Copies of this chain bind each other. A is one copy, B any other.
């Protein structure tokens, strides 16, 4: 399961992606519309800003807006930002790699082979799932 943080982040991003470019949206608006505790949301948006996905404007008339193109924001990146690795086993991640204690030879490990395949497929799908793609899927029903 992904954390609430990640889910909230995705909801907020989709919400912002539907607004006009560069238009600052209040945290309080996102919080109310998407039913996300405001203080919690503040931290999330800040992280998304630090990651270069969002930008913000302070003071009156301020708020958050998408910095990256909705085409360039995918679910794999968002999940990694908040939940860490997507892989189900540490010996199968790229950035957070950790060797298994009990494993003699990693290359010939049947368990690893299975979970490597799962990871690759999942990452593939999540990378294709951009904000644009998510909005497209919404409309098509």
Complex Cα–Cα for A102 and B107 (A): 44
A to B CB contacts below 8 Å, 8 in the list: A1-B90, A2-B88, A113-B137, A114-B129, A114-B133, A114-B137, A118-B122, A122-B122
Enumerate chain B residues within 8 angstroms of A35, measured Cβ to Cβ: 101-102
Cβ of A29 to closest chain B Cβ, rounded Å = 14
Q: Is the CB of B113 within 8 A of A7?
A: no
| Nearest-CB residue, chain B, relative to A75 | B114
Q: A114-B126, A118-B126 known; 13 other A-B pairs, CB under 8 Å?
A: A1-B87, A2-B89, A14-B110, A14-B111, A36-B102, A107-B141, A110-B133, A110-B134, A110-B135, A111-B134, A113-B137, A114-B125, A121-B122
Q: Which listed residue (B10, B88, B121, B136) contacts A1, Cβ 8 A?
A: B88
